[in-house]
Structure 1
Amino acid sequence: MTIIRNIFHGFLRAMSSNSKIPIAPVGVRGMRDLDRTKFSLNVILPVLKVREEKLSKISNILKQYFLKLENFKPVQAQDAVTKCVYFNPEKITQWNEFSEKDKSIFQEHNIDHTSFSLQSVQLSYDNFKIDTIFKAVLPENEETVSGFSQIGHIIHLNLREHLHEYRHLIGQVLLDKIKTCKTVVNKSNIIDNTYRNFKMEVVAGTEDYFVTVKENRCNFQFDFSKVYWNPRLGKEHERILSFLNPNDVLFDVFCGVGPFAVPAARRKCTVFANDLNPDSFKWLNHNAKHNKVNMNIFRSYNLDGKDFICDIFQKFVSNICDGTEKLKEGAKIHVTMNLPAMAVEFLKHFNGLLRNKENTVHVEIIAYVYCFAIGDDPASVAKKMVSDNIGRDISTSILDVFNVRNVSPKKEMMRATIRLNDVIFNELQEPPTKKVCV
């Protein structure tokens, strides 16, 4: 009893100095192999005892002070008529910290300082959130796990070098805390190959790369270890799809497993989808059939982006010029180029693509080109990249530059929207010199 009394007195002295007591695991800094028993913690919490019939009348005041932990109820029954309300000691530690207005409301319901007390509570690993555990275990004054992506049942990490030795602990914590997770992988190299995938190491869970992801009312299935998928682009996919109308045409130059192409075809657009990666091509066709796409308006290709532009796209627009291909009135042609590391390099293939054809196309051709822009003014950087790669200034044909997402400090993923009509027919070149009438 003496020891417990001393603990309470020490806690009261801390409260009297207006210090806030954080609730976090102790003694686990530097742990490499997860030992859940080490996270057991005895804490002393502020508690307000309230009769059950009065609780609803003051709940709006109490909610702001609730102790919010995993697998812990801030309101618990003490007996048949009394409830114990547990407060977060980082927000309130003693009765006189309630405002006078709050205390006057309490008094209306016969609640005063005698209802306020301290209580010892045993917490465990199950009560702590992911970020609290990482903050307690990983090195101080270093960047912690800044974020992760979830693709189906897979959690995808991209850990900094100083966290590499903690990767198995990090993976196990994520596996424990995220109920839909069965596999945790850490990216082990950058995306620098032709097919935009990367090597990865399973740091926790089962080695199962086959996933199902739902996006824009479509279900996509693929082998995550062999194709590219970024869940952070879901909103951008949705934005582009909102620009498309039935009877429009979409040329998806780097389509992946179909996040643009498949929903577009479901919206009754004619789709020409291409990807160089044979695995992406395989899953693209699988997803088209799996989502019951009308295959009469869906065509897929396993070509280099240059060949797709100079052959498939060129032939389609050429046929429109000749009148052998016709679109419904008001329809547009859209071109998506979602390969931000190098998509702008393919723009040169549009320059003068149909310079020998008479510009009889009365259809608007819009391209959405993605790139990584590094610098203080990413919009200007993106515009310059577009013009430089086309080989001439086309600033008047750039309709919009949109910041899709931040990749890293001073590195943004940008989307340039370009009117291609003037580019493919090369109408921006200087007109011939007019004869002077003497």
Structure 2
Amino acid sequence: MSTLKNFSLSPVEVRGMKVLNREKFLRNIEVSILKVAEEKLSKVTQHCKHYFLKLENFKPVQDFDLEGEYRKCIYLNPEIVSQWKDISEHVRETLITHGIDEANFVTKLVQLSYDNWRYDTIFKAVLPEDEEIVSGFSQIGHIIHLNLRDHLLEYRQLIGQVLVDKIKTCRTVVNKSNIIDNTYRNFSMEVIAGDEDFFVTVKENNCIFQFDFSKVYWNPRLCKEHERIITLLKPSDVLFDVFCGVGPFSIPAAKRKCRVYSNDLNPDSFKWLNHNAKNNKLNLSLFKSYNQDGKDFICDVFKEYLIECCRNNEIREVKIHVTMNLPAMAVEFLKYFRGLIEDKQYMDKFNCEIIVYVYCFAMGDDPVNIAKCMVNDNMGCDMSSYIVDVFDVRNVSPKKEMMRVTFKLTKEVLFDVNNYEPPAKKLCVND
């Protein structure tokens, strides 16, 4: 039977610390070790890895007695092993065949310090018990950003300093509110540790993006979604990126030799979009950028492109993609597509495929139907037969999903040929 009595390696007597005091994390513990002859070490370690004492900046295999028979020793995790019989019978029998028995099992006093614990172990030891602690964060370049709950705000300087200490690539930690300014998609933020330096460089989908994180929107959790859409694009396709930000859809699409029309209302996003276009050495004859409201971009730039193609008989095999990644309000811009082209003379010449990818936040128990309902209501007609996919991009919070609705934008909608009546309202029931 094991003699272990809920032993914990965690730091002690640091609960409630608000100002980081690294000296308080010093702790002396008694650790079991195995004395091993150097020539036997490789074979013995194969069977003991499960029992290793694994800590930051600590080697579980160390020198022991360079003059004696047993020149190496293996430090065992005291949470698992406190006596010889805590090692499984099978492993003990194997160790004996390599000349390791209970006589090789001794204890040693080890001093642990702040440097030996991971940030999550420190947070668990310091922050209030029975409360949610720092469960996750995002890193953008050298910046880590957090969304701290109210009960953690008084610990924010300690939390930030621990992250700067423990994550080598981190130089700045910011706490950001969940509220985004919907005009420019900015977070409010507070630097809680490190340098007040918001210029970051990140790599995504084989492109380099640079921007001032305090003035534009960037979410590293959307990297996979960006990749999903980019893989659908082929050379000679056309992309209209209505709310492009600094270009996570637009820049990779242009590198794939698509023709790209890229727009964002935020002047800082527009600035860094063009910087990234040049920095990634795009063929600028295939890339055009705009600093407009989404409505104007759709009603002027997108509309004029379609009309020009009809005039010149250029719409044949061209496939047009429209990305609308502003989930808080993108669906509100769908109404501008319906009846966008009033002149019916272009209808017979219109023969292209247009795919729209619109993002939204669906709050409730049935996010798929809620997202479809949002598209129908904002388009002002029943789009059900044109919707080809409804995809759950990510969970934002309980009962709040970021969804992507993919639908075909046909001539019936663009020319409003059936003069659709808005469908009967379907209530999006949110329990």
- 1:85 partner letter: I
What count of residue pairs does the alignment treat as equivalent?
415
Structure 2 residue matching 1:203: 3-state secondary structure: strand
Give the TM-score normalised by the residue count of structure 1: 0.91
Query: Could you give the per-residue CA deviations for residues 251-306 of structure 1, whole angstroms, max 9, x where no partner exists?
Result: 00000011110111111000000000011001101110111011101000001001
Q: Residue 43 in 1 paired to residue 32 in 2?
A: no
Deviations 1:205-252 (A, max 9, x none): 111111111111111111111111111111111111000010000000
1:333–1:366 Cα contact (<8 Å) kept: yes
User: Partner residue of 1:424?
Assistant: 414
Equivalent pair of 1:228/1:256 in contact (CA under 8 Å) = yes
Alignment partner of 1:368 is 2:357: yes
Deviation at 1:20, TM superposition (A): 3.8
Paired letter, 2:294: G
- CA shift for structure 1 position 326: 4.6
Counterpart of 1:341 in structure 2 is: 328
Q: Which residue of 2 aligns with 1:227?
A: 216
The alignment's C-alpha RMSD in Å is 1.8
Aligned position for 1:273? 262
Task: Provide the C-alpha distance between the structure 2 equivalents of 1:259 and 1:209, rounded to a whole number of angstroms.
Answer: 18
1:109-154 CA-partner distances (Å, limit 9, x unpaired): 1111111222211000000000000111111111111211111111
1:215 aligned to which of 193, 204, 212: 204
Helix, strand or coil: the match of 1:145? Answer: coil
* Percent identical: 66
Give, in whole Å, the separation in 2 of the partners of 1:41 and 1:91. 18
The residue aligned with 2:20 is 34
Q: 8 Å contact 1:359–1:425 — kept in the other structure?
A: no
Q: Which residue pairs with 2:424 in the alignment? A: none
1:120 paired residue number: 109
CA distance, structure 2, for counterparts of residue 426 and residue 69 of structure 1: 66
> Structure 1 segments of 4 or more deviating over 6 A?
none
Displacement of 1:430 after TM fit? Answer: 7.2
Tell whether 2:84 aligns with 1:98: no
> What is the rounded CA distance, in whole Å, between the counterparts of 2:34 and 2:359 in structure 1?
56
1:188 CA drift (Å):
4.2
Tell me, yes or no, if the aligned pair for 2:389 and 2:406 is still in contact at 8 Å. yes
Task: Give me the whole-angstrom Cα distance separating, in 2, the residues matched to 1:159 and 1:181.
Answer: 18
C-alpha distance in 2, partners of 1:362/1:326? 6
CA distance in 1, matches of 2:278, 2:420: 48
> Secondary structure of 2:5's match?
coil
* Cα deviation, residue 54, structure 1: 1.4
User: In structure 2, do the counterparts of structure 1 residues 426 and 100 end up closer, same or farther at CA, with 3 Å as the change threshold?
Assistant: same
- Cα distance in structure 2, aligned partners of 1:120 and 1:70: 18
Q: CA deviation at 1:73?
A: 0.7
Structure 2 CA distance for aligned equivalents of residues 387 and 152 of structure 1:
39
1: CA distance, partners of 2:415 / 2:53 = 66
Given that 1:44 and 1:121 are in contact with CA atoms closer than 8 Å, whether structure 2 keeps it comes out as yes
The gaps in structure 2 that reach 5 residues or longer are 422-431
Deviation of 1:404 after TM superposition, in Å, equals: 0.9
How many Å separate the matches in 2 of 1:314 and 1:45? 73
Aligned residue identity for 2:389: D
Deviations 1:180-204 (A, max 9, x none): 1111111146103410102211111
Does 2:244 align with 1:244? Answer: no
- The Cα shift of 1:157 comes to 1.3
Q: What is the aligned partner in structure 1 of residue 74 from structure 2?
A: 85
Supply the AA of the counterpart residue of 2:194: G
Q: Distance in 1 between matches of 2:362 and 2:420?
A: 30
Alignment correspondent of 2:401 = 412
Equivalent position to 2:39, from 53, 64, 74: 53
The letter for the 1-side match of 2:18 is R
Q: Distance in 1 between matches of 2:73 and 2:418?
A: 76
Question: Deviation at 1:17?
Answer: 4.1
1:9-408 alignment, distance < 5 Å: 16-80=2-66, 81-188=70-177, 190-326=179-315, 329=317, 331-354=318-341, 356=344, 357-408=346-397
Report if aligned partners of 1:20, 1:92 keep a CA contact under 8 Å in 2: no
| Structure 1 residue aligned with 2:428 | none
Q: What is the alpha-carbon distance in structure 1 between the residues aligned to residue 64 and residue 249 of structure 2?
A: 56
1:333-385 CA deviation, whole Å, 9 max, x = no partner? 00000000001111111112235341533321101111111112211111111
- Give me the whole-angstrom Cα distance separating, in 2, the residues matched to 1:99 and 1:415: 51
Note if contact 1:45-1:87 (Cα within 8 Å) is conserved in structure 2: yes
CA separation in 2, counterparts of 1:31 and 1:368? Answer: 47
Q: Which amino acid aligns with 1:279?
A: D
* Letter matched to residue 366 of structure 2: D
Q: What is the Cα deviation at residue 427 of structure 1? A: 5.5
Matched position secondary structure for 2:181? coil
In structure 2, distance between residues paired with 1:226 and 1:168? 23
TM-score, scaled to structure 2: 0.92
Q: Indicate the SS of the match to 2:221.
A: helix
Alpha-carbon displacement from aligned partner over 1:304-335 (angstroms, at most 9, x marks no partner): 001101111111112222335456x4x31000
Q: CA deviation at 1:414?
A: 0.8
Q: Which amino acid aligns with 1:55?
A: L
Name structure 1 gaps, 5 residues minimum: 1-14, 432-438
Cα separation, 2, equivalents of 1:376 and 1:253: 29
